[in-house]
Structure 1
Amino acid sequence: MPETWEERIGAFWRDAEGHDAARLWTRLEAILVERVSSDPDALFERASLHDYLGEEERAVPLYRAALAGGLAGSARTEARIQLASSLRNVGEPSAALSVLRDVETDDPLADAAAAFRSLALYDDGKPAEALRVALRALAPHLPAYTRAVEAYAGELRQAERIRSIVVGLLVHDGHVLAEEYPPTAHHSGFLRMPGGGIEIGERAAEAIRREFFEELGVTLDGATLRAVTENIFDAHGRRGHEIVHVFEVASRALERLPIGERLPVQDSDTFVAWHSVADLQRGSQPVYPDGVLDLLT
């Protein structure tokens, strides 16, 4: 009986080790010829081979196309994990976190997704959260001490340190674009200007452009440093201390976001939206970093 397409794909991967790239592509394309070029399963297999050969930058758009094209079944989660891994390897850990943030806990690959999420969190400068995610994935499989490990994982906190960050002020038609943080058991809802941490060896002007690209998927049209401020605060009973580089930014792409609509932040469960500058200056809701509203006058 002839092998199915899936069986031939499985045989290809089992026998992939030890063959050069040209041979692998010839063998794979001989199987994929049965599918149209836009077939999501075919796109996934091509992305996987690029990944296998260390060509992550070529794999990323193919993974995205496969997912957008409706890749289904276990391959969908595999594609998300492999896409996240490739994004991390090309220096985009925040984008990797966005890809993995809603993998269902009952997915057979949930623990694998947690492992790659931990790696991305570590690369994104969040070692305590990375360890917490890894321990929570590990705990159910321990022969003993599961409850203790889960409890200690929940108590992990970032070490106190001074962070150097960037935030962007994007003002349009009397409104400023702000990231919305919903209320939790620890704090009421608040707004924060979009941005994030400056990486080692990175200039602040480079960081603000990278953060907007990673978090909102846009390339800024301009970024001008307005001020450097200091923000000292309490968060969940712990001290926070930030040196804040505040940029006035321009983005034609974001200015097309209608007032009243929200745009998801790629590496978080939050959203950005337009908020009236006049209302915020009247104290309609808390805005951080402290003092940033003074720069909007």
Structure 2
Amino acid sequence: MSAEIEHDEPLTQAIRLREQKNAQAHEQLLALAKRYPQDAAIAYQTAWSHDSLGLEAQAVPFYERALEGPGLPAEYRHGAFVGLGSTLRVLGRYEAARGVLRRGLEEFAHDASLLTFLAMTLYNLGDSREAVRTLLKVTAATSADHQVQAYRPAIEYYADHLDETE
């Protein structure tokens, strides 16, 4: 029996428990991460578990392991970039957060969640102009509000020309 198949069922069970807010999920994920330290999917799920428990600092190495490991499905890679970037921001590690979020955007160009967390990080770094520009572009691109969409060309234009006046 391969190691991958061997841990699929326990990983699925731990994810299910985490989704049900069952405290046993965290212990199961930690045990799986110890047993399969090179498994990127387990590392990602373990990081997520730490984050959901407010253990941000302990989540970081698991997110990093998930992104370094091979074979992480795109959905999990995206989640790992968002999770690691937002966690680093919460921890006050703004430069590192910006780097992770920009790396994520290289793989998931124009992703609204990555851009939103990047905007928050840019604000924390004192780059308010770029933060506002980024949020305006995300709003224009993703809002379902018919008024925002009616003004989308103007919002997109002024996102790049915030200081223009007549």
TM-score interval for Structure 1 and Structure 2 normalised by the shorter chain = 0.7 to 0.9
CA radius of gyration, larger in = 1
Asked if residue 152 in structure 1 is aligned to residue 158 in structure 2, the reply is: yes
Asked if residue 12 in structure 1 is aligned to residue 17 in structure 2, the reply is: yes
Asked if residue 44 in structure 1 is aligned to residue 50 in structure 2, the reply is: no
CA contact (8 A) 2:63 2:80 kept: yes
Residues 29 and 59 (structure 1), Cα distance of their counterparts in 2 relative to 1, 3 Å cut: closer
1:57 corresponds to which letter in structure 2?
A
1:38 corresponds to which letter in structure 2?
Q
Give the superposed CA RMSD. 2.6
User: Which residue of structure 2 lines up, in the alignment, with residue 134 of structure 1?
Assistant: 135
Percent sequence identity is: 32
CA contact (8 A) 1:77 1:109 kept: no
Q: CA offsets per residue over residues 74-110 of structure 1, 9 Å max, x none?
A: 1111101100011111111111111111445894981
Shift of 1:10: 4.7
CA contact (8 A) 2:14 2:25 kept: no
Secondary structure of 1:62's partner?
helix
Map 1:107-256 → 2, pairs under 5 A: 107=108, 110-142=111-143, 143=146, 144-156=150-162
State the distance in 2 between where 1:105 and 1:63 align.
Answer: 17
User: Which residue of structure 2 lines up, in the alignment, with residue 289 of structure 1?
Assistant: none
Secondary structure of 2:157's partner?
helix
Which structure is higher in RCO with an 8 Å CA cutoff and minimum separation 6?
Answer: 1
Residues 119 and 106 (structure 1), Cα distance of their counterparts in 2 relative to 1, 3 Å cut: same
Structure with bigger helix share is: 2
Specify every segment of 5 or more residues in structure 2 that has no aligned partner in the other structure, as ranges.
Answer: 1-7
User: Which residue of structure 1 lines up, in the alignment, with residue 60 of structure 2?
Assistant: 60
User: Which residue of structure 1 lines up, in the alignment, with residue 5 of structure 2?
Assistant: none
State the distance in 2 between where 1:49 and 1:141 align.
Answer: 29
Residues 116 and 65 (structure 1), Cα distance of their counterparts in 2 relative to 1, 3 Å cut: same
State the distance in 2 between where 1:91 and 1:120 align.
Answer: 9
- The number of aligned residues is 148
CA contact (8 A) 1:139 1:149 kept: yes
Residues 97 and 104 (structure 1), Cα distance of their counterparts in 2 relative to 1, 3 Å cut: closer
Residues 39 and 130 (structure 1), Cα distance of their counterparts in 2 relative to 1, 3 Å cut: same
Map 1:252-271 → 2, pairs under 5 A: none
State the distance in 2 between where 1:134 and 1:8 align.
Answer: 38
List 4+ stretches of structure 1 deviating above 6 A: none
User: Which residue of structure 2 lines up, in the alignment, with residue 161 of structure 1?
Assistant: none
2:161 corresponds to which letter in structure 1?
E
State the distance in 2 between where 1:28 and 1:69 align.
Answer: 17
Shift of 1:27: 4.4
Shift of 1:14: 2.4
- Give TM-score scaled by structure 1 length: 0.45
State the distance in 2 between where 1:109 and 1:76 align.
Answer: 15
Structure with bigger strand share is: 1
State the distance in 1 between where 2:107 and 2:26 align.
Answer: 35
State the distance in 2 between where 1:61 and 1:106 align.
Answer: 21
1:120 corresponds to which letter in structure 2?
T
State the distance in 2 between where 1:66 and 1:106 align.
Answer: 15
State the distance in 1 between where 2:30 and 2:152 align.
Answer: 47
CA contact (8 A) 1:85 1:116 kept: yes
